[in-house]
A and B are shown apart, each in its own frame.
Chain A
Amino acid sequence: MPAGVRLLSVLLFDEYAVIGLFIGALITSPAIATNLTESLVISLISALNPYIAIHITKRLLKVDDLLKKLGAKELILMGLFSAIFNCLSHHLYFYWEGMNESSWANCATMFVGDLLGITITLVLFNMSLKFIRKSTLTTTQ
Chain B
Amino acid sequence: MANFKQIYQRFLNLASAVEELSEFPALDPVEQKMLALLSKYWSGKQKITVVEAMHMTSDISTSTIFRYLKKLRQKGYIELVVDELDNRVKYVSPTPMTDSYFSKMGKLLLKATS
Q: Does B89 reach chain A (CB closer than 8 Å)?
A: no
Q: Does A129 reach chain B (CB closer than 8 Å)?
A: yes
Q: Is the interface of B mostly helix, strand, loop or mixed?
A: helix
Determine if B2 and A66 form an interchain contact, defined as CB atoms under 8 angstroms apart: no
Determine if A65 and B13 form an interchain contact, defined as CB atoms under 8 angstroms apart: no
**Known: A12-B11, A67-B14. Is A72-B6 also a contact (CB below 8 A)?**
no
Q: Which of B20-28, B33-41, B47-55, B57-65 contacts A (4 or more CB under 8 A)?
A: B20-28
Q: Of A8, A65, A71, A125, which one neighbours B20 at CB under 8 angstroms?
A: A71
Q: Bound state CA distance, A75 and B22, in angstroms?
A: 13
Q: Of B10, B19, B74, which one neighbours A129 at CB under 8 angstroms?
A: B19
**Known: A13-B2, A16-B2, A126-B22. Is A72-B7 also a contact (CB below 8 A)?**
no
Determine if A13 and B7 form an interchain contact, defined as CB atoms under 8 angstroms apart: yes
Determine if B18 and A75 form an interchain contact, defined as CB atoms under 8 angstroms apart: yes
CB distance from B12 to the nearest CB of A (A): 9
| Interface residue tally on B, bucketed by range | 10 to 19
**Known: A12-B7, A13-B2. Is A67-B21 also a contact (CB below 8 A)?**
no
Determine if A67 and B13 form an interchain contact, defined as CB atoms under 8 angstroms apart: yes
Q: Tally A-B pairs: CB < 8 A.
A: 50
Query: Which residues of chain A from 13 to 45 have a CB within 8 Å of any chain B CB?
Result: 13, 16
Q: Does A11 reach chain B (CB closer than 8 Å)?
A: yes
Q: Does A110 reach chain B (CB closer than 8 Å)?
A: no
Determine if B14 and A70 form an interchain contact, defined as CB atoms under 8 angstroms apart: yes
**What chain A residues lie within 8 Å of B11 (beta carbons)?**
12
Residues of chain B having any CB pair with chain A under 8 Å: 2, 6-7, 9-11, 13-15, 17-22, 25, 74
26 A-B contacts (beta carbon < 8 Å):
A11-B10, A12-B7, A12-B10, A13-B2, A13-B7, A65-B6, A67-B9, A67-B10, A67-B13, A68-B13, A70-B14, A71-B17, A71-B20, A72-B17, A72-B25, A75-B14, A75-B18, A76-B21, A122-B18, A125-B18, A126-B18, A126-B19, A126-B21, A126-B22, A129-B15, A129-B19
